[in-house]
Structure 1
Amino acid sequence: MAAAVLEQLGALWMQNLRSQGKLALGLLSPHNVLLQSHIHTSASLDISRKWEKKNKIIYPPQLPGEPRRPAEIYHCRRQIKYSKDKMWYLAKLIRGMSIDQALAQLEFSDKKGAQIIKEVLLEAQDMAVRDHNVEFRSNLYIAESTSGRGQCLKRIRYHGRGRFGIMEKVYCHYFVKLVEGPPPPPEAPKTAVTLAKEYIQELRNRTIIHTL
């Protein structure tokens, strides 16, 4: 009787070990690791995901007699089927312009990205009047305009003789910041003497560790 009970307990113990071993192997299999992994190695995650959240920043009340703080509008469009490098040239073109001048420049550009940026600017202009209490639609200028890399897809490109290559379907993001008011005057180009003084000052401001 005791031998039968011990044999039954041993069988249950072995069955329990087998089930635990299968569970551990299943969790350690590459397929399940890929499904459960939330790590993304793409460079697109370097782009700030908090761009639109900057519209919800609440500033402290202003003091009496203090000049009125201009409205700031942050807007973007993500995952555009376009190269980030081509988009950067168009983004740099309108940086520092008034909203009307930027729309005019983009209207006469034959680039695909120019029409996309124009749509984003019009959306941001409507958002400024609707959500940020901007009185005049034309009283805005482009304070920041830049592009970033989106989440790109890798696909197989088939070659002859059974060979293949890897191709990328590239996407990009576009970010813009509008500020209420006239655009600031352009900065004067720096001379060689000014650049040399700034370089010397940077050298003097260095922190040299393990010294007196």
Structure 2
Amino acid sequence: MSLCLPSRRIATSAVFVYSPASSFLTPCMHRRTISFWRNSKDKKEQAPKTSDSPLTEEYLRKKTQQRGAIVRGGLSSSSIFEDEELTGVIPQNLPRAPGMQGPVLRNPDSMAAALDPDPVGRRLWERKMVIRDIRKRGRLTRTQLIKRQERELISKSQDIKGSVKKLVPLAKQITGKTVDEAIIQMRFSKKKAAKDIKEHLEYARNQAIVKRGMGLGAVSGSSSTPIQIKTKDGKQIKVTDPTTIYVDQAWTGRGYHQKSIDYRARGRVNIMRHRSTSLTVILKEEKTRIRHHNEREEKIKNRKVWVQLPNRPITAQRQYYSW
């Protein structure tokens, strides 16, 4: 019986066994950095870095001067933060002007650091808007005019437990209905996600009222007559108040999902995915739906009558038969 080994492997093993410089016989020193042993005094003694650019030095010098020139103003007697000053959240020993009993007035230049951080960019933007207005002579596009006259709100919900397949029927159910009617539909729905959709509709309705001023009724002194309109899906509805909020669009979006193990027979496992879905709604007023109805009626009214043989000049005719 013969043993077949490479000669270089045998030589390496022999050197490792009989060599006195083996790694387990001789001490091994690891090199490590000792930069953290420096004292804090060495850092302080280092000269500050200076920039070679004169523009940078001038900018830093002006910035330091501006910081030192900012003086914090006091609070007026009618300020809503007066209680915080009494409790010590805001210091009471504010600087006072000579000859004045009250605190120093707030300096607009100091407040501009937070309110208007980029004054040059703001002036350029205002100039650009003025030039655009002069070029168009104050005329607005149809989209801009509609946005000025009609209100809308886009509201996206948080992730709701459930897949897109389960929430799409609920989104289709509330589309085209008024917000109050959609809330009633979700209140009596047997679906599990209907409760979350109902809460989101209530939140979106409140946001539309507070942020956009929708659904507040007609302006005092003006009256509106009930009108029968036809929606884009062919339904006939009666509108008594043009400011009534309705759900114009509703769609779902896929969110994050979590995974868990489903233990099966014979030592097998499956991966379960617990999905989440978000719901986005667009709320508008009945004024928009009335405009869409009038545009469709006007388009049908201006439609030309179809004629089987229209009276038009004959062109590209031959004086003899093709065959």
Letter in 2 for 1:166: I
Instruction: Choose the corresponding residue for 1:108, options 188, 197, 200.
Output: 188
Q: CA deviation at 1:92?
A: 0.7
Q: Deviations for 1:65-88, whole angstroms, at most 9, x for unmatched residues?
A: x56431111112222112221111
Indicate conservation of the 8 Å contact 2:262/2:271, yes or no.
yes
Structure 1 distance, partners of 2:182, 2:262, is: 39
Letter in 1 for 2:254: R
Q: Which runs of 5+ in 1 are unaligned?
A: 1-10, 17-59, 188-212
Q: CA deviation at 1:107?
A: 2.5
Q: Deviations for 1:7-58, whole angstroms, at most 9, x for unmatched residues?
A: xxxx99x959xxxxxxxxxxxxxxxxxxxxxxxxxxxxxxxxxxxxxxxxxx
Instruction: Choose the corresponding residue for 1:174, options 279, 293, 299.
Output: 279
Instruction: Choose the corresponding residue for 1:142, options 247, 250, 259.
Output: 247
Distance 1:174 1:129, change over 3 A: same
1:89 aligns with 2:169: yes
Structure 2 distance, partners of 1:182, 1:100, is: 17
TM-score calculated relative to the size of structure 2: 0.36
Fraction of identical pairs, as percent: 30
Other structure's SS at 1:124 match: helix
Instruction: Choose the corresponding residue for 2:264, options 159, 164, 183.
Output: 159
Instruction: Choose the corresponding residue for 1:71, options 145, 151, 162.
Output: 151
Q: CA deviation at 1:180?
A: 2.3
Structure 1 distance, partners of 2:215, 2:182, is: 19
Indicate conservation of the 8 Å contact 1:78/1:150, yes or no.
no
Other structure's SS at 1:127 match: helix
Structure 1 distance, partners of 2:197, 2:287, is: 20
TM-score calculated relative to the size of structure 1: 0.52
Letter in 1 for 2:268: R
For the aligned residue pairs, the C-alpha RMSD in angstroms reads: 3.1
Other structure's SS at 1:112 match: coil
Higher relative contact order (CA 8 A, sep 6+): 1
The structure whose Rg is larger is 2
Other structure's SS at 1:78 match: coil
Q: Deviations for 1:151-207, whole angstroms, at most 9, x for unmatched residues?
A: 1112221223322111111111111111123573799xxxxxxxxxxxxxxxxxxxx
Indicate conservation of the 8 Å contact 1:97/1:183, yes or no.
no
Return 69-78 or 117-126, whichever deviates more: 69-78
